[in-house]
Amino acid sequence: MTRRTMIEAIRDAMAVMMERDEDVVVFGEDVGYFGGVFRCTQGLQARFGASRCFDAPISELGIVGAAIGMASYGLRPCVEVQFADYMYPAYDQIVSEAARLRYRSNGEFTAPIVVRMPTGGGIFGGQTHSQSPEALFTHVSGLKTVVPSNPYDAKGLLIAAIEDPDPVIFLEPKRLYNGPFDGHHDRPVTPWAKHEGGEVPDGHYTVPLGKAAIRREGSAVTVLAYGTIVHVAEAAAAETGIDAEIIDLRTLLPLDMETIEASVRKTGRCVIAHEATLTSGFGAELAALVQEACFYHLETPIVRVAGWDTPYPHAQEWAYFPGPERVGRALRAAMEG
Amino acid sequence: MTATAPLSLHVPEPAVRPGGTPNFGEIEIPQAGTVRRPDVDVAAADIRDLAYTIIRVMDGEDRAVGPWAGTLTDEECLAGLRDMMKLRAFDGRMLMAQRQGKTSFYMQHLGEEAVSTAFRRALEPGDMNFPTYRQAGLLIAGGYPMVDMMSQIYSNENDPLLGRQLPVMYASKEYGFFSISGNLATQYIQAVGWAMASAIRNDTRIAAGWIGDGSTAESDFHAALVFASTYRAPVVLNIVNNQWAISTFQGIARGGSSTFAARGHGFGIPALRVDGNDYLAVHAVAKWAVERARRNLGPTLVEYVTYRAGAHSTSDDPSAYRPKTEFDAWPLGDPITRLKGYLIGRGAWSEERHKQGEAEILDEVVTAQREAESHGTLHAGGKPSPRDMFEGVFAEMPPHLRRQRQQAGY
């Protein structure tokens, strides 16, 4: 067992897979010699050679489009889009091509690619380095969407994603790269070394796609969260003293409805929290599913807490971010009804 | 105060519109055999002129002339002629089938038959095409069963794609034909990626990307050229310039550049322009570009100058935007007539055998059609099951799709 940051865990997942499977290739902007702007691919080119890990031109559609072609050949490309905010030029390739290739060709061709993208705010990145576009992927049939919340999961989920026969969007909450950020931006950062999620085994293991994890067992209210907000919810539960059951979804699609349903039936209350904008966010889908499955178990209306429906502002970042205080208010609202 | 006149926007217009006299005077057509044939390891900068001319092999007297002649035996030319005739007959039957309501949609190749059929004969087994919707000649010349193509067009119970795709959007790994996307241009960069993968794995197979004149305006085209150039991908990047993108003449996508092949220059990619209605020239240029790719010399950009004699699709009426007689005035003629003339000139074919060949081919196509229709057409007979609709979204069906299939009653 080694203590690793999320960056190191992600890097290790790629290294493990590149070692095991020569079909795994890694490329993207600044990914090769330099090792990525967040250092997630550091050392991979030196270790595996430039034909397995290399720099790409600044063309997200080119990166994803080429990856699809490589995957249809038989490779397993794991590519990086430098920020999730930069994925829009690649959206057509993701939606119309990668996601539909298996279906439209009846399995003649498939696109087992992983598209890694740093997501979320909290680093003063402004509107073009802070977005959380997960709902733009979960809305598309044929894509799997993953958001890890700690280094252990990040490595296990990324290995599972690379081994998966279908395209996987792998969103890495960049505010979690170096520590379990709980939304208290004015406090010193806790390093992953001091968190159990930072314990990352060497070698190969997987965290299966489609399985949620219960981060905190509780009986008062269920919180559905993923990525950074899992840690925010933990802080909110501690600070409000509300006995929340916090579910880390880990994979948004396929979604682990079994775990969600069991928890909401038990608590009778549900708060849905995410950093992405509220309207038509993934929380809307979760709210619909929870009321379909658990309506007669709900004692109070489902509460959603999310980023405001504005672009991610720069100076007002912490007014935008749904921190522990806002999530705490949502917990109280769910308790009071 | 400025002395210049106010600005005005330039919107290119084709030379002629309906009611006018067709005029292709803007296209400079060199004599057959006059364009040089460089070695395949030539530097892109040393053949810049080849992007502005037209490589032609068949002259006005049905002879093969010049340095690009001689890549095919008479036997091979006869096979090529049959490929084109079969594609035309296939188109004729499927166009009629669409008019009879047996399917929703069709796209024919009329006038462009040489491009895909001749290109296919320059490839090796295992090479992969990333085609658009007007390259069915790749399948016909590759020997793919017509019954399966027709079944796809009919979306019947024998459709290899289970009724999921619009007619003519075939896919076959075995026959080197990547799944067609209706989005256009998306497959160009994928072809480059496939070729890069082949190079990464030290394979010997190469890829070919296909795009139309109009779609070269998409960003995917430019991304493909950047990637192909940067990584010297073993890929042939084909531009089929058939003059019309639905109703939009090629000048709208081409802009101020005089040719599409010239787009290669900015990327340092050797670029050739070829008479797309000259089967021998298409084959010779394809062979040259394929050899470059196979020898790891990198990509080649090829513009095929041809003419879309038919409508864009069965949903299109070209008389609304171009003169009806434009194809008669098209200076590069009809690819079948030209190859036929060449073979007759060689003593390898005759008018009589041609007529007999046409009858045989029509018979073959009609037989295939009958068999395909025995499996159903779009609105009658055997159909793919709606249960299949839920399969294949993922390798393994996730719980939410399983629930939806139950809700749908399948």
| Closest listed residue to residue B297, CA positions, set B36, B44, B53, B35 | B44
Query: Over the range B47-76, which residues count as b (16 or more CB within 10 Å of their CB) and which as e?
Result: beebbebbbbbbbeebbbbbebbebbeeee
Three-state DSSP state, A171: strand
Residue B336's nearest CA partner among B35, B16, B86 is B86
Nearest to B186 among A97, A103, A107 (CB): A97
Distance, CA of B71 to CA of B287 (rounded, Å): 8
pLDDT single digits (tens) A164-190:
999 999 999 999 999 999 999 999 989
Average pLDDT, chain A: 97
The ipTM is 0.97
Q: How confident is the model at residue A1 (pLDDT cuts 50, 70, 90)?
A: confident
Q: Would you call A62 and B226 a contact, using CB atoms and an 8 Å cutoff?
A: yes
Q: Which two structure tokens, joined as six digits, stand for A30?
A: 């600044």
- Residues of chain B below pLDDT 50: none
* pLDDT tens-digit series, residues A276-308: 999 999 999 999 999 999 999 999 999 999 999
**Residue B129 — φ and ψ, nearest 5°?**
-95, 145
Question: CB distance A102–B226 less than 8 Å?
Answer: no
Report, in angstroms and rounded to the nearest whole number, the Rg of chain B calculated over CA atoms. Answer: 22
B10 touches chain A (CB under 8 A): no
- B198 → closest Cβ in A52, A73, A210: A73
What is the pLDDT at residue A300? 98
B189·A57 Cβ contact <8 A: no
Interchain contact A66–B (C-beta under 8 A): yes
Contact B186 A72 (CB under 8 A): no
Sequence-distant (≥ 6) Cβ neighbours of residue A108 within 8 angstroms: B160, B171, B172, B173, B179
Task: State whether B227 and A62 contact (CB < 8 Å).
Answer: yes
Q: Is A175 on the interface with B (CB under 8 A)?
A: no
List the 219-258 stretch of B: residues with Cβ below 8 A of A.
219-220, 223-224, 226-227, 230
DSSP state letter for A20: H
Is residue A68 a contact partner of residue A97, using CB atoms and an 8 Å limit? yes
Q: Is A129 a catalytic residue?
A: yes
- What confidence tens digit (pLDDT) does each residue in A6-40 have? 999 999 999 999 999 999 999 999 999 999 999 99
Which single residue is written with the structure tokens 């036929």? B340
Interacting residues of B193 by C-beta distance below 8 A, sequence separation 6+: A65, A66, A67, A68, A69, A70, A71, A72, A73, B227
Nearest by CB to A65, from B160, B207, B223: name it. Answer: B223
- The minimum CA-CA distance between A55 and chain B, rounded to whole Å, is 10
Q: Is A322 on the interface with B (CB under 8 A)?
A: no
Residue B161 forms contact with A (CB below 8 Å): yes
Q: Which chain B residue is nearest to residue A167, measuring alpha carbons?
A: B394
3-class SS of residue A117: strand
- Packed helices B74-99 and B335-345: angle between N→C axes, nearest 10 degrees: 150
Q: Using one digit for the tens of pLDDT, what is the confidence trace for B233-260?
A: 999 999 999 999 999 999 999 999 999 9
Predicted confidence (pLDDT) at residue A337 exceeds the cutoff of 90: no
Shortest alpha-carbon distance between residue B405 and chain A (Å): 14
Please give the pLDDT value at position B1. 60
What is the per-residue pLDDT across B82-110, written as a single tens digit (0 to 9) for each? 999 999 999 999 999 999 999 999 999 99
| A106/B161 Cβ within 8 A | yes
Percent helix / strand / coil, chain A, rounded to 5: 40, 20, 40
Cβ–Cβ gap B395/A61 under 8 Å: no
pLDDT, residue A115, reads 98
